Chain A
Amino acid sequence: MILILIYLTHFFLVVKDLLRGEGGTMKTFNGYQRADGSVGVRNHVIVINAIGKLAGFTRKMAQLVPGVIPVVHQGGEAQFPQDLTQTVRTLQGIAGHPNVSAALILGMKEDNLTHVMEEQLNKERHHVKVLCLDEERTITEMFKKGKQWLKTAVENRRMEKRVSVDVSKLIVGLECGGSDAWSGITANPAIGCFSDYFVKDEGTSILAETTEAIGAEHIIAERAVHPKVSAKFIDMVKEYEERIKETGQDVRSANPSPGNIAGGLTTLEEKSLGCIKKGGNAPLNEVIDYAEPPTKKGFVFMNTPGYDVESVSGLAAGGAQIVLFSTGKGSPTGSPIVPVIKIGSNSELYETMAEHIDVNAGKIMEGSSTRIEMGEEIYNTVINTASGNKTTAEKNGNQEFAIWRLAETI
């Protein structure tokens, strides 16, 4: 009798899921309309260094005006051309991001890089200002000038108000970090569910982490809208695995990581099969390189390392306004400009690390929620976050940033 009851309840839940699964009602959020047509979910004022040696000055400059966020890195100088190109693309993507109301770029005139960035960003009508240290006479004057600009930018951003916009204006990055054996069963499939609804609503979801497609690449490739997209994806994954082999190592020997193994994952294939579930079932419309903005809507793949912070930075630079980040072990990282929503894979994690988890997908394994209900909960969280609700990473002040390197420093 009990068995029949359980069976009937389960059947009912499945039918309910199927009925809901159609998705599709008009969804909106309140965001900041930018001059280039994009929409921000945050209204940050940032200071960013064009070249590594200005990291310290950038941090100090940001401290002068409350509410200003520093974005610092060590690139932009002493790099091979391919590495420099990727760094500059990432920095431009961050400075011109829809979540950024205004960006102060610290650079050196003698390095030539800063003004190229400024020109491009101005062309795209972003609110940026370049301050070159070698054009200033004293440090005091330089700080004074930067502080004044930032103060005005912080005052002006209050004038910018949120307006209701369609959810199709959103680009959401899909990421995982510190996976366990539950990730592929709870959090990632729930994110996949969200992604499918979101794509139906004409949103753009970008799956990242090429390393974590290794061993499962055929599944995504089959979903490509065009054989060229499929081939590009397969080549990209192969290239990544070869690149790792070139270092004299087999990725399969170091991945799963110690934490993954403790969490119950046994092989890279197992991890990958779980990871790609975040991408749902929608057709693959485009394959883009690290920090590149997508040109197509729908489901897209970005070439990034599995290293969380570098991957999230690449997604942000490519224009993602929000990142969904599943975790089994509990990863606290965020981004300086993009809200990162943490989806915990199990309830124990949600209880012990509540300060770092936004959504508990562990409810699926407890039976108190279905995968599809979780997908809807995630969708609601995305919309609320887009409209201004703070994520745990934002509340904790997690603003990690790192750019994927392609070569050694010269």
Chain B
Amino acid sequence: MAYQFEGYLRSDGTVGTRNYIGVVCSVICSSRVTKEIAENVNDAVPLVHSNGCAQLGDDFTVTRNMLVGMASNPNLYAALLVGLGCETNQISGLLRSIPKNKPLEGIGIQYLAGGKNTINKGMQIAEEWSKKVERKRRIFSITSLSVGVIALDLEDEKLNKVTSIIGKTVDILVKNDATVLMGLTETLAPAYLELSKRTDNDEVKNKFLSLKDRLDRKQWKEAYTSKNIRNSYSKKEKARASLELALTGNSKVRNFLYYSEKPAGNGLYFTKASNNLTETLSAMASSGCNIAIVISSRDILTGSLILPCLTVHSSSSTEYFEDLIDYRLTEEEAEVQAEKIIETLLQVGSGQQTSLEKYDLGEFSIPHVGTTF
């Protein structure tokens, strides 16, 4: 059976499942203007965040790379960058770094002498794009899908069932040459040893082995003592992680990516993730994902502004919001359910709205990895 979906081809060969104009602020100071431009133009989404100035080192690099990644995501057919002027994260630098795979422009409030001019100019640019856009979807093979997969708050009860269904789903995707980015969370990290065995590449192996003392998460309140307060994992955490690992199927792992790092070719990847779903989905989008699957036993209340997120609920309890569930796991065979999830995924990839999209619950946010100053 050929797995196909209908999407939008971009000039670099990537394929979008959505067709947005991204209006991206370089810094929080231009967020209001950015929102106003996006609110007034068809297809436009405001990618606003609270970073972009008074940042240094790795923290600044993460912010800049995230914005470069978002602007070049295939779900955007054009990107307009909106800056202030005096910020650390200069528009000129962003424009230099963003691959030219779509119409791209940058404007700044201080260069245009105020917010009103900037809004007018921004709307004019975006409206031009909106008139010219190709709105017809074309058929593509599943190999053009780059799927972010993140599991959060899974209940112990029925864990084996859930992980086998999702594991099968991931295996089918990888077997059919799709790209899968699995979010590596706190609960999965204790399985670092098992993960290291799923690659033949020594460098990647070492990346997993470095999780021995937990994921590298920085704290900076106290100077000197702030560096990486780490503990080893408890037996319980390790046992749980081994069970959760089944979520990731049996395929070979190609790499363990950092925020915004792009996969080199199709296959299965891991990517740094946190329990903050908005941050994690934003990072996946900036790594080039064009769709996502979120699995949880609790309510999934937030999605991404540019990635359609298929919500998979693993609990049979009815106390959760039914409206926000795209697929509820049942007692059916794992293989059957994996096929159903992929079928839904392809429909969503072809334009079917997800429940989070219907409720307009997309967000965007950039993680911090160091203090602002």
- Residues in A lying within 8 Å of B, measured CB to CB: 52-57, 60, 73-74, 77-78, 80, 82-83, 110, 133-134, 138-139, 177-178, 211, 239-240, 242-249, 251, 254-255, 257-260, 262-263, 305-310, 329-333, 352-356, 396-402, 404-410
Contacts and interface: CB of A to CB of B under 8 A. Distances in A.
B53 A308 contact: yes
Contacts of A243: 220-223, 226, 371
B363 interface: yes
A409 to B, nearest CB: 4
B220 A406 contact: yes
Contact of B274 (A134, A255, A307, A409): A409
B56 A405 contact: no
A254 B373 contact: yes
A77 B275 contact: yes
Interface in B299-350: 299, 301-303, 319, 321-324
A78 B274 CA distance: 7
Given A239-B223, A332-B29, 11 more contacts: A52-B365, A56-B302, A74-B278, A110-B298, A177-B29, A243-B222, A254-B56, A254-B60, A307-B372, A332-B33, A407-B220
Interface of B: 28-33, 50, 53-60, 84-88, 90, 109-110, 113-116, 186, 217-224, 226-227, 274-279, 298-299, 301-303, 319, 321-324, 359-363, 365, 367-373
A409 B50 contact: no
Interface pairs A-B: 10 shortest CB-CB: A259-B86, A242-B223, A307-B54, A402-B50, A78-B275, A407-B219, A56-B361, A409-B274, A249-B56, A329-B86
Nearest to B279: A409
A247 B53 CA distance: 16
A181 to B, nearest CB: 13
Given A396-B115, A405-B371, A55 B217 contact: no
B54 A248 contact: no
A309 B28 contact: yes
A133 B115 contact: no
A352 B322 CA distance: 52
B85 A259 contact: yes
Contact of A406 (B28, B59, B86, B219): B219
Given A332-B115, A408-B369, A409-B367, A78 B28 contact: no
Contacts of B220: 243, 246-247, 406-407
Contacts of B86: 178, 257-260, 262-263, 329, 331
Given A56-B363, A244-B371, A396-B32, A353 B113 contact: yes
Given A251-B373, A308-B53, A396-B115, A82 B361 contact: no
Given A254-B373, A330-B109, A53 B301 contact: yes
User: Of B33, B57, B360, which is in contact with the most chain A CB atoms at under 10 Å from its CB?
Assistant: B57
A75 B368 CA distance: 11
B302 A53 contact: yes
Contacts of B298: 110
Contacts of A240: 373
B368 A408 contact: yes
A242 to B, nearest CB: 3
A292 to B, nearest CB: 14
A16 to B, nearest CB: 35
A52 B276 contact: yes
B219 A332 contact: no
Contact of A53 (B186, B277, B360, B368): B277
B275 A355 contact: no
User: Of A139, A242, A409, which is in contact with the most chain B CB atoms at under 10 Å from its CB?
Assistant: A409
A240 B53 CA distance: 17
User: Of B90, B109, B373, which is in contact with the most chain A CB atoms at under 10 Å from its CB?
Assistant: B373
Nearest to B58: A247
A363 B56 CA distance: 35
B331 to A, nearest CB: 25
User: Of B53, B109, B302, B367, which is in contact with the most chain A CB atoms at under 10 Å from its CB?
Assistant: B53
Nearest to A407: B219
A246 B307 CA distance: 35
B227 to A, nearest CB: 7
Contacts of A263: 86
A397 B114 CA distance: 14
A79 to B, nearest CB: 9
Contacts of A258: 86-88, 90
A133 B53 CA distance: 34
Contact of B59 (A178, A247, A309, A333): A247
A313 B277 CA distance: 24
A400 B323 CA distance: 31
Contacts of B319: 134
A257 B88 contact: yes
Contacts of A329: 84-86, 110
A146 B338 CA distance: 38
